[in-house]
Amino acid sequence: MKKILLSVVAAAILSTGMAHAAEGVKKEITIVANINDAIFVSKPDGSTWYDKEELFAKDYTQTEFTSNDLPVRVYTTDNEVNVSLVQPLTVNRADGAQLSDVAISFAGKPVVQGTALKVIQTSVAPGGYDNTYTLKINAKAPTNIAAGTTTNGAYQGELVMLFEPKP
């Protein structure tokens, strides 16, 4: 009787697995390549870029948030780089509530929408300059939430930066 029961259970598991396998699994990868012999921007390992980063509460009050220090490697053929925001960084919830006073710093200096930050590369490398800088994001909890609502929830935003070699 035990052998029959085990056979029935095994057959049920096997048929369930086969039914799911017949549905198929779709996998997608977005492929992006950018070749520029004047500038290359990456993580310090030189092969990747950041995909998703989290802001962490500075303390239990959860009124101020900060990112980890994000190291950014910049290789250029010239010693000057302009860093700017392509669009303002807004970090918001689906209902429109958003973090306030969002600030981005690169190499210890603020990066502001509409104004390019000039960064001078100092470490000489074969064919150019190669330095690693810190990217940091800070923000505050929303203060303009409607009465009777909460600041709780998941907030998202998209940081789009432009790194340009000396014009």
Residue-wise pLDDT for 29-59, tens only, equals 777 776 667 889 999 998 888 888 999 999 9
Question: To which residue do tokens 């048929």 refer?
Answer: 15
Name the token pair of 85. Answer: 């925001």
Query: What is the rounded average pLDDT for all residues in the chain?
Result: 83
Where do the structural domains in the chain lie, given as residue ranges? 39-165
Name the token pair of 98. Answer: 């958003």
> Tell me, what's the pLDDT at 24?
76
Which homologous superfamily is 39-165 in?
CFA/I fimbrial subunit E, pilin domain (2.60.40.2040)
| CB neighbour class for 74 (10 Å; exposed up to 12, middle 13-18, buried from 19) | buried
Residues 6+ apart with CB under 8 A from 45: none
What is the pLDDT averaged over residues 113-135? 94
β-pairing, 64-67 with 55-57?
antiparallel
What are the distances in angstroms from CA 48 to CA 76, 101, 161? 17, 29, 15
SS3 69: coil
pTM over 0.85: no
> Tell me, what's the pLDDT at 129?
95
